Structure 1
Amino acid sequence: MTMTTPDHQSPVPDSSEPSGSQSRDRIYRSPSGIVGGVLLLALVGWLGVDALVSGHGRTPWLALATLILLVPLVVAFTLRPAVFANEDRLRIRNPFRVITLPWGSVASLRSGYSNEVVVKSGTKYQLWAVPVSLRARKKATRQQNRAAAQARTGAAAALDAGPRRAQTDQVMDDLRELAEAHESAERAQGEPSVRWAYEVMGPAIAGAVVLVILLATG
């Protein structure tokens, strides 16, 4: 998503406005993942460039190979994950795969210690961009309990304060609503498709191979 940031680890939708005969994607990403990724890239870049510029002997080559290995991995696990949803399908961009699921192929969306989608064949796919925040879930539960207690004592003015549901749980509720509303639509039928992210895996593997060769021949 291109996102706003309501909570520490809370993906939120960018847009759900209709455009012509199709709805635009709702895009969910993790703000904390993006922030962490930017900081990690800055740190890796600073250390790597310093080693390239001021290193001696084999050090610059080792630094270059390490950069080629680490930068794609950092991007894959922090900046890359996203979930795209519209009236026709759910598209999950995980670190190394892109999974496209027409709503008609989705059996359920489940939340536990991770958020995942289960297709009718039984295969499960984790939603990396919608991480479960147990802290936010507990906070929302406390707020619900507090609101219920206030309602019983007549303190209605305080009922609107604080979150009633963890943001990632709300995201999953939104996705379930989309699935239930469109699973029978003709445009939402089809088979799941999975594409490996070779644009991420290729550079990382190349960097790992070069690093192993340099270490082995040192």
Structure 2
Amino acid sequence: MKLVVSLVAALAATSAFANEPAAAPASKGDPKAAESIVNQVCAGCHAADGNSTVATNPKLAGLNAEYINKQLNDFKSGNRKNAVMSGMVASLSPQDMLNLAAYFSAQQPKPGTSKDKDLALVGEKIFRGGVQGAGVPACASCHGPQGKGIPVQFPRLAGQHADYVYAQLNNFRLGTRANDGAKMMRTIAAKLTDADMKAVAAYIQGLR
């Protein structure tokens, strides 16, 4: 997302304007306030409704707001490395990021379809039962049996592009993505084979 537009947080209503709605508190996001950023810079990569059609760009629709906000903050701080996103978030305020998180979390995610059914069947076994003997837990234990995520820590996975899921698993395995709490995903990905990652990614794309 080329997030280069900063929003100015609305001022809370004073007693002189008691009948006007107050602005959203600083600790919460305002989806309406995010629309200008979304339309101008996010939609090109992620679509206005957060359902990206480009396999390398993640779908944002329906991701928990806390997760989205954390990723944006991590891109800005450098805790999550990405040459494109680090520049895109540079001018965002904390409230901008909360607003974007609220906006995309409220969008309706569109389901995906697994392109390789046989590979997805292998991935389903990993997602639901882990990899026995390798110390890999079931993905469902943190992300839920339907891949809907468990706020605050664990994001929605259902319907996410397989290419993006695979890329992130591989980044965790290589250590090029390192913003996971307690090194949880890095530890898990290090125990996955390339075939394991492609299989579970294929399954996740069709999960609904």
TM-score (norm 1): 0.25
Task: Kindly name which structure, 1 or 2, has the bigger radius of gyration based on alpha carbons.
Answer: 1
Q: Counting strand residues as a fraction of each chain, which structure ranks higher? A: 1
TM-score (norm 2): 0.26
